[in-house]
Amino acid sequence: MGLGSFCAPKDRFFWRTTSTATMESQLGLIEQSFNFRYSLWVREALDQLPDSFTITDPFISGHPIVFASRGFLKMSGYSMDEVIGKNGRIFQGPNTNRRSVMEIREAIREERTIQISVLNYRRDGTPFWMLLHMCPVFSIEDGRVINFVGVQVPILRKQRRSGTGFGRNGVNLCEDKPGFCETLLGSCRRELCSDSVVELGRVLSMDLVFGSDDRELEVDEHCEASDQEKEKAATAINNILSVLSHYSELTGRLVCGKRCCLSGMGLLGSSLYISLGRIQQSFVLTDPRLPDMPIVYASDAFLKLTGYARHEVLGHNCRFLRGVDTDFSTISQIKESIRMEQTCTVRILNYRKDKSSFWNLLHISPVRNASGKIAYYVGVQMDESCKNYDRHGLSPETRQRSVVGAVKVAVRSLSMGAGTSMS
């Protein structure tokens, strides 16, 4: 089963209409997403694996599939072009259990591994039960989720065992052919495997195993995976993660199957990370609940302004921006505003990584969650030498307040969603 946001499942034959330019842009983004993180050889290596699996990118709008294995395409009946760029909901159908969909969606929101049985549909409309083993892939650099890997293992239909075995017209085959039921249920002694028994086995299989009643049972009743199928899925996940880890080493952007925390920092969920990434200003989020109030998010504009790399910033207190001529009375003013849980605007001399200084117009504000508790502090930085540059004519104060407002909306929306069963 493909992964994704699993929002408001559509009919499986529904395809969202979009312009050619938009589609090409989306596919280009998907290509860049995969190539940025992994070596160009990763696709060929993944194609050598025999398993059925998909890889998705939660940071692209719609959480689309960015890779589908040959095994998955063969199992589902779709072509590569029909799958790449699509959300996993296209594999759902009228009898897909919505509770299972919500469990998968919740696991994605919580960025955790899940194993669950799901009824999916092939391209030709035929339903089949499968075991989905889904796990996140984390960046070693900053601990955020890069991809989700979903392995799909078809659940083999178990034949129904009955106290009596009746063939067509109500004939009791167990009485008519002694030993036949034993043969069918596994005690296949060589002396019983005569032509007549084989033929009767074919008839019984048609009536009892592949009959219309069992077809309905396969769709309407929950089908649980065996321990062997669960082990197969777990093994496939390990093999895929091993390939991704190896080919991420070649680009220097390492990934792993477990979150690697930096300096005890608190880590943001992918949903919040995406929302914050849309804010095109220099700012950081710090977590007052952690020792030394470390930075847990730094915008691209902040990294550009200061010259630091993201891994050099996350998990550290903002004091690394100070220098020999930084006014400590200003620092005390900032500390007091934080202690009083109030906003603060100061002009402070800060230093970039290359030791060059700049006057920072800094605005700090507490950010509260839906319950009213302070979740973060946001610090918005602005180089004084660039304060008058704004194509919309907005003042520095207005621009900083707009950043704070956008951050507050993102944090509150996420915490409200977490409190409503992840819907």
Same domain (yes/no): 236, 299: no
Task: Give pLDDT, residue 128.
Answer: 92
The distance between the two most distant Cα atoms of the chain, rounded to a whole number of Å, is 100
| Residues of the chain predicted below pLDDT 70 | 1-29, 157-221, 259-268, 270, 387-393, 414-423
Count the domains in the chain: 3
Same domain (yes/no): 250, 292: no
Asked if residue 179 belongs to a domain, the reply is yes
Provide the token pair at 127: 């339903």
Same domain (yes/no): 46, 145: yes
- Paired strand residues for 298: 284
Domain containing residue 303: CATH number:
3.30.450.20
Asked if residue 261 belongs to a domain, the reply is no
Residue whose C-alpha is closest to residue 71's, from 89, 49, 93: 49
3-state SS class at 157? coil
Same domain (yes/no): 124, 186: no
Asked if residue 10 belongs to a domain, the reply is no
Same domain (yes/no): 312, 353: yes
Q: Where are the beta strands (DSSP E) in 39-187?
A: 53-56, 65-68, 114-121, 127-139, 145-154
Asked if residue 12 belongs to a domain, the reply is no
| Span 115-130, pLDDT tens digits | 999 999 999 999 999 9
3-state helix, strand, coil in the chain (%, to 5): 40, 20, 40
Asked if residue 3 belongs to a domain, the reply is no
Same domain (yes/no): 178, 324: no
Same domain (yes/no): 197, 233: no
> What distance in Å separates the CA atoms of residue 346 and residue 154, rounded to the nearest whole number?
61
- Write out the residue range of the structural domain in which residue 211 sits: 168-220
3-state SS class at 108? helix
> What distance in Å separates the CA atoms of residue 298 and residue 305, rounded to the nearest whole number?
11
Helices (H), 150-194: 173-176, 180-184
Asked if residue 6 belongs to a domain, the reply is no
Task: Give pLDDT, residue 389.
Answer: 57
> What distance in Å separates the CA atoms of residue 196 and residue 179, rounded to the nearest whole number?
12
Q: Answer yes or no: are the C-beta atoms of 257 and 244 closer than 8 Å.
A: no
End-to-end CA distance of the chain: 20
Same domain (yes/no): 97, 242: yes
> What distance in Å separates the CA atoms of residue 367 and residue 405, rounded to the nearest whole number?
9
Per DSSP bridges, beta strands 283-286 and 295-298 are: antiparallel
Kindly tell me the sign of the dihedral angle through the C-alpha atoms of 264, 270, 273, 275: negative
Asked if residue 5 belongs to a domain, the reply is no
Same domain (yes/no): 206, 83: no
Same domain (yes/no): 250, 101: yes
Provide the token pair at 319: 């004091």
Indicate the pTM of the whole model. 0.52
Same domain (yes/no): 132, 48: yes
